[in-house]
């Protein structure tokens, strides 16, 4: 009789655990578009379960890195979470409230300045990997002569000096006119002491370029996918020396070699990074070089498209 009484709670606990692990419809990755006074800002939300009943997650705003969401709270059909400021002005938390509407999300955000903005979200696409691929013809995105093939924006500070693509001060980002889906890209670059830049794959996923020599590897340091994937080793060289990235991106899966060493090997980029042009992940996107942080020089930018056989 005692054995039977002990067995019943175990069954109940097992049932609750299984139910808790079945998942909530909100779980997964969501690409958000925030309407900030007419400007569409891409953002990203990932929701996961913790234990039986708690939803947690990660959030990336239009700039900055992915940051943890301690809890996504549920009140009837309304969800809420809040996040302390990262690089946003002010000291107030960002507050989010939303509902699931059809296959998407609709909600509001109270920004750190107290203003309220609306936003919508859609499930992020899968972007499957394939290993049966073929390489296309290599394209020199930088021709060593001028800015042909790149969008010239107001306030442009990019120029070609003695065959080197140069941004000698903080200004605007440089975006390729051509867009790409899956590819291999090789770049050679150097920066002065203390500088910071980045290479955006498809205009959405930043691989960090920064003077981080001697620091432990981290997703926000040299060779990391900003805020999402940390390299297994920091192989940054001294400022002023030429360095290289060799990156392969197929679907979400990325392999990154920095200065000849593989530091990220076949890892999935789960969402956009801060500063992305958009989060239309199923579409091809441009190569973007970050120019709004610090000085940077490039002497080679070569890309080879990849297609499935």
Residues of the chain with CATH 2.60.120.560: 133-308
Q: Which of 53, 45, 46 is nearest to 22 (CA)?
A: 53
Is the model's pLDDT at 4 over the cut of 70? no
Under the banding of pLDDT at 50, 70 and 90, the label for residue 264 is very high
pLDDT of residue 106: 99
Q: Where are the alpha helices (DSSP H) in 41-166?
A: none
Tell me the C-alpha distance between 85 and 125, whole Å: 28
Q: Provide the 3-class DSSP secondary structure of residue 15.
A: helix
pLDDT of residue 113: 93
How far CA 18 is from CA of 10, 46, 74, 117, in Å, comes to 12, 22, 20, 38
CATH topology (fold) of 133-308: Jelly Rolls (2.60.120)
Instruction: Indicate the CATH number of 22-123 among 2.40.128.120, 3.30.420.40, 1.10.30.50, 2.40.30.10.
Output: 2.40.128.120
Residues of the chain with CATH 2.40.128.120: 22-123
Q: What is the pTM of this model?
A: 0.91
Structure token digits, residue 263 = 């530091």
| pLDDT digit string, tens, across residues 104-163 | 999 999 999 999 999 999 999 999 999 999 999 999 999 999 999 999 999 999 999 999
């Amino acid at each position: 009789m005692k054995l039977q009484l002990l067995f019943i709670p175990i069954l109940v606990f097992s049932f609750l655990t299984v139910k808790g692990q079945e998942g909530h419809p909100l779980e997964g990755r969501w690409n958000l578009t925030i309407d900030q006074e007419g400007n569409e800002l891409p953002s990203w939300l990932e929701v996961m379960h913790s234990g039986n009943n708690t939803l947690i997650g990660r959030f990336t705003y239009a700039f900055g890195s992915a940051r943890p969401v301690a809890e996504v709270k549920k009140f009837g059909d309304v969800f809420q979470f809040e996040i302390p400021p990262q690089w946003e002005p002010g000291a107030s938390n960002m507050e989010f409230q939303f509902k699931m509407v059809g296959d998407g999300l609709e909600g509001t955000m109270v920004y750190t300045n107290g203003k309220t903005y609306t936003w919508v979200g859609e499930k992020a696409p899968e972007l499957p990997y394939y290993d049966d691929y073929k390489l296309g013809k290599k394209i020199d995105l930088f021709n060593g002569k001028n800015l042909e093939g790149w969008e010239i924006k107001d306030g442009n500070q990019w120029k070609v000096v003695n065959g080197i693509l140069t941004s000698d001060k903080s200004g605007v980002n440089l975006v390729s006119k051509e867009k790409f889906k899956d590819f291999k890209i090789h770049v050679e670059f150097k920066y002065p002491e203390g500088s910071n830049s980045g290479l955006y794959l498809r205009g959405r996923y930043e691989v960090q370029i920064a003077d981080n020599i001697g620091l432990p590897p981290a997703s926000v340091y040299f060779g990391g996918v900003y805020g999402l994937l940390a390299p297994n080793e920091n192989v940054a060289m001294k400022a002023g020396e030429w360095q290289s990235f060799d990156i392969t991106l197929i679907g979400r899966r990325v392999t990154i070699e920095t200065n000849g060493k593989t530091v990220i090997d076949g890892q999935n980029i789960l969402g956009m990074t801060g500063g992305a042009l958009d989060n239309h992940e199923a579409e091809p996107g441009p190569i973007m070089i970050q120019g709004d942080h610090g000085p940077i020089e490039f002497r080679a930018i070569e890309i080879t498209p990849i297609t499935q056989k």
